Structure 1
Amino acid sequence: MLEGVISLKHLLLTSSLALSLAAAQTAPSTPQPITPPEPAATATVTRLEPVALEFSANQLSRLKVPAGFQLKVMATGLGNARSLLVMPDGGIYLSRMKQGDVWYLKDVNGDGQIENVERKQVARNMSSVHAMSVRGGKLYVAAEKTIWVMDMAKDGSLNVPHVFADGFPDAGQHGARGMHWGPDGYLYAAFGSTNNDSRTPNPEEATMLRISPDGKSREIYSSGLRHTIGFGWHPVTGVLYGFDQGSDWHGDNIPPEELNVIERGKDYGWPFCYGDKNPDPYVNLSGMPGKVTKGEYCAQTQGSLLNYTAHAAAIDATFYTASQFPADYKNSMFVAYRGSWNRSEPSGYQIAHVAFSNNQPTTITPFVSGFVYQDGDAWKQFGRVAGVAQYTDGSLLFTDDQSGVLYRVLYTGGQK
């Protein structure tokens, strides 16, 4: 009889617990407050594209370099000359984004000029081809949605391209890809946003990706990067630095161009934040992750290390590791700012120098400037700088993708 009572009690307790669980599951959740809308923000914006002029030798006098440096033209007529990759023997791979091809250039006779007979097309039919990197005798080339790989011959020739990795985001507004093999043996590639200030469902947009050595797997290394094409690892510390382009149409000075320390798993804020975790007043809240204010969200992101003039459009960067320049330049960085188009006074159109002190970046200042100038009431320009690379003799090379010019900067000031 006692057994039956215990069983009945157990049944009642079980039923009561089941009813309680069911009630808990069906009970309405506690309402969460909706973030109140922000006041509408408006910006005074200007579309100003300086009049584009073809390159001519008499324009060289307009260009300025620091005292002790000399600027020379190494080649002309290169078309949409974008990224540069210098090989140990002095051969130079050059990508041409609009033409969708890769060329191999080499100053065979050592006269400081690359004539037509010293140039050859080595790859073609690659949509929006841009960044290049070398590993194990193979050339890796980043195009719009595909990274290609090709064997390199001693004369610079390449074999038939093979797909290394595929299925990357569409180009949209930002088709230029940045790419380098990292010191850890993985390939790092940056893919910009397809629009100005809105996230899309594709999680790989506006990110830096880390790709396995066989190309079969990849991860989002860092996010919230609108368009980080120029990046690289400091030669001493191994820290990864990258230059990010800010959004357009937000006024003359917002947002600034950023120099960031790129770290794994970090969110750099685009499109909601800029600079040192500043909320962008011109970006709608509709895409905000989580029900938080813009300020709360930005506080959780990674802020910039240094800022530069808005809309200057950093497009490539390289560390200087040679000794041809004075000692202060060793292990510092050069960045190509292609130039603005939506600012009342143009910014960029220059090669800038990032000075380092105790292996930490301190300032960004113009190094080669003068491509853009005011003529009466009109702004004019005769160069959109693009690729930048260290040459085998320690001089600095950079391209102009508008007139197809390859420039070279040497130090000639004597005592270093």
Structure 2
Amino acid sequence: MYAALDNMTKGSGVVALRDTTGDYTADRVEYFSTAAGSGLRLHNGYLYFGTHTAVWRYRRRSGELVPSGEKEIVVSGFAEQATHDAKSITFDGKGHLYVNVGAPSNACMEETRTKGSPGQDPCPQLKTRAGIWRFEADALQQVHPEDGTRYATGIRNVNALRWHDGASNLYAVQHGRDQLHTFFPELYTQKESAQLPAEEVFKVDQGDNFGWPYCYYDWMQDEKVLMPEYGGDGQMVGRCDQFEEPVQAFPGHWAPNDVLFYTGTRFPEQYRGGAYIAWHGSWNRAPLPQQGYKVTYSPFDGARPAGDYKVFAGDFAGADTLAGPGEAEYRPTGLAVGPEGSLYVSDDTQGRIWRIAYVGAND
């Protein structure tokens, strides 16, 4: 098992874990890579690693835990930015690599995170960021943005990015914008701001535009509405009818950090074929209690959700009510499926990885 480290540990950005005794506990732990990051995928014999400014890969030879070869640069040229710099990655099995390039802002304000500041129109960040870019999976020394294709735009930031083989489609779960009440108290109460906007699940097709920073999705009204930075009042639709809708919406500020489509057969039927989402947990839902800190499951029928989500694994926070994220005992952030069909969930508070296994009547 491999895990990306968003902060360097022992001078490295990736940790390699191996269980050599069959007890599902890592007894070999080794570190490598010269940069931190958050995107990590195994593909065609390589370990691909999304750092904050590039995508690298390492050749994995049979039996190796730590790759012995030097890193190869697949894509470089991503701008350094103070926020939303995660380069989550995924592959479509047809020779393409998809990379999230987050927007370095909340809502593309003229004066960033400033009360009452209008939004830039058009938003210049959309040219090279705030979207998903597609590159060649096996080509080296590609440079963003000139060597890539802007596959989709109008996406604030996506840590949860995954190609769903069963639907032959790309999916992303967006981190919604913050602080509606803080910047526009005349339009939003604290309670409204704590619940808005929705965290959106996108079915992403080439050429899609999901509307950031001009619009957000209100899960209570079941409608995409105009951002206050662009003249919205919480009800006005305006230009937002021209943008793509989410296929599923969750309450605001849960912070989706990974999505995974379960293709195993180990779990019961009602937990197969759908989407698991790891919710890292909020920081800005005051005065309401913080939310998230769980793993949910959404059933799918083909390319779209087939019903409401359910909580698959909860209680990571360690308390029923949290005033802030610093009180959470654990915060789910990554997902993986083992070869035996178990689900693995990582935490970035204490650096723990859990294995969730199903034990049925015949096991």
TM-score (norm 1): 0.71
| CA 237–374 in structure 1, closer or farther in 2 if over 3 Å, else same | closer
2:89 to 171, 179, 195: 179
Structure 1 distance, partners of 2:103, 2:215, is 15
Q: Return closer, same or farther for 1:178/1:392 CA change in 2, 3 Å cut-off.
A: same
> Any unmatched runs of 5+ in structure 2?
109-122, 181-192
243, 252, 259: which one pairs with 1:301?
A: 243
Residues 148-297 of structure 1: pairs in structure 2 closer than 5 A:
148-153=56-61, 154-158=63-67, 159-198=69-108, 199-201=123-125, 203-213=127-137, 214-215=139-140, 216=142, 217-250=147-180, 251-275=193-217, 278-284=224-230, 295-297=237-239
Instruction: State the Cα distance separating 1:206 from its structure 2 match.
Output: 1.1
Cα distance in 2, alignment partners of residues 170 and 223 from structure 1: 19
Q: Do 2:289 and 2:323's aligned partners in 1 also have CA atoms closer than 8 Å? A: no
**1:4-403 mapped onto 2 (5 Å cutoff):** 92-99=1-8, 101-115=13-27, 118-123=28-33, 125-126=34-35, 128-153=36-61, 154-158=63-67, 159-198=69-108, 199-201=123-125, 203-213=127-137, 214-215=139-140, 216=142, 217-250=147-180, 251-275=193-217, 278-284=224-230, 295-343=237-285, 344-357=288-301, 360-361=304-305, 362-372=307-317, 374=319, 380-403=327-350
> Cα gap change, 1:342/1:376 in structure 2, threshold over 3 Å: closer, same or farther?
closer
1:219 partner letter: T
Larger radius of gyration: 1
Shift of 1:374: 4.9
Q: Residue 52 of structure 2 contacts residue 86 of structure 2 at CA under 8 Å; is this kept in 1?
A: yes
Equivalent-residue separation in structure 1 for 2:88 and 2:322 (angstroms)? 37
Q: Which sections of structure 1, spanning at least 5 residues, go unmatched?
A: 1-91, 287-293
Change (3 A) 1:376 1:341: closer
Question: Would you say the 8 A contact 2:89–2:99 is kept in 1?
Answer: yes
The one-letter code sitting in structure 1 at the alignment partner of 2:131 is: T
Shift of residue 157, structure 1, vs aligned partner: 1.9
Q: Distance in 1 between matches of 2:26 and 2:16?
A: 11
2:113 alignment counterpart: none
How many Å apart are 1:303 and its aligned residue? 0.9
What's the CA shift for 1:359?
Answer: 5.3
Structure 1 distance, partners of 2:290, 2:177, is: 15
Distance 2:87 2:322 in 1: 36
Q: 1:372 is paired with a residue of what secondary structure?
A: coil
Residue 411 to residue 256, structure 1, CA distance change in 2 (3 Å):
same
* Distance change in 2, residues 1:358/1:265 (3 Å): closer
CA distance in 2, matches of 1:350, 1:415: 29
One-letter amino acid of the structure 1 residue matched with residue 211 of structure 2: G
Instruction: State the shift of 1:352 in Å.
Output: 1.0
Q: Write the distance in 2 (CA, Å) between the matches of 1:130 and 1:253.
A: 27
Residues 196-237 of structure 1, C-alpha deviations (whole Å, 9 max, x = no match): 111444612110000023143211100011112212233322
Note the C-alpha offset of 1:160: 1.8
The total of aligned residue pairs comes to 314
The 8 Å contact of residues 277 and 299 in structure 1, kept in 2 or not, is answered as no
- TM-score computed with the length of structure 2 as normaliser: 0.81
1:137/1:347 Cα in 2 relative to 1: closer, same or farther (>3 Å)?
same
Post-superposition offset of 1:134: 2.7
Identity, % of aligned positions: 25
Q: Secondary structure at the match of 1:299?
A: helix
Deviation at 1:104, TM superposition (A): 1.1
C-alpha contact (below 8 Å) 1:131/1:177 kept by paired residues: yes
Bigger shift: residues 219-228 or 365-374: 365-374
Q: Is the 8 A contact 2:126 2:154 kept in 1?
A: no
* Greater length-normalized contact order (CA 8 Å, ≥ 6 residues apart): 1
Q: CA deviation at 1:393?
A: 0.9
Partner of 2:118: none
Whether the 8 Å CA contact 2:101–2:131 is kept in 1: the answer is yes
By how many angstroms is 1:96 displaced? 0.8
Distance in 2 of aligned mates of 1:397 and 1:243: 19
- SS state at 2:195 partner: coil
Write out per-residue CA displacement over residues 111-146 of structure 1, whole angstroms, 9 at most, x where no aligned residue.
12113xx111132x21x4111223332222111111
Contact conserved, 2:318 with 2:329, CA < 8 A, in 1? no
Aligned-residue offset at 1:260: 1.0
Quote the RMSD (CA, aligned, Å). 2.2
